[in-house]
């Protein structure tokens, strides 16, 4: 997992990760500015997508960093709890992101 996390912090991934968040902000602002029901659906979708982004930044990244900084024996001992916690957070993030993307596309 530490190797995956080290490779994620590279320009191609970060460009997509932050770029989709910025695009979602733009979709949300435009959706609210439209004022029609479809625009509000897009804005809701943008908010859901951004909640997944924020969950990553506020929860998953610190969790990953704690795992990376732990001594190997401690990391190995804490792996089952870490994996359960990370999987729960990742499932919520994936569901929010998918629902958000569906609402942004469906609200067109």
User: How far is 46 from 26, CA to CA, in rounded Å?
Assistant: 8
User: How far is 95 from 7, CA to CA, in rounded Å?
Assistant: 24
DSSP conformational letter for 35: -
Q: Which of 47-51, 68-72, 86-90 has the lowest mean pLDDT?
A: 68-72
> According to the model, what pLDDT value does residue 3 have?
78
Helix (H, G, I), strand (E, B) or coil at 86: helix
Residue 90, C-beta contacts closer than 8 angstroms, at least 6 positions apart: 60
Q: 87: pLDDT confidence band, cut at 50, 70 and 90?
A: very high
Q: 8: pLDDT confidence band, cut at 50, 70 and 90?
A: confident
What does residue 27 show for φ and ψ, rounded to 5 degrees?
-60, -45
- Sequence length of the chain is 108
pLDDT greater than 80 at residue 53: yes
């Amino acid at each position: 997992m530490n190797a995956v996390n080290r490779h994620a912090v590279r320009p191609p991934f970060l460009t997509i990760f932050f770029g989709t968040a910025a695009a979602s902000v733009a979709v949300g602002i435009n959706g609210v500015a439209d004022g029609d029901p479809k625009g509000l659906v897009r804005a809701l979708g943008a908010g859901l997508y951004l909640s997944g982004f924020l969950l990553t930044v506020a929860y998953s990244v610190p969790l990953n960093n704690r795992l990376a900084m732990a001594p190997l024996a401690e990391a190995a001992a804490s792996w089952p709890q870490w994996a359960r916690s990370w999987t729960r957070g990742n499932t919520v993030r994936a569901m929010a992101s998918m629902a958000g993307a569906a609402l942004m596309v469906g609200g067109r």
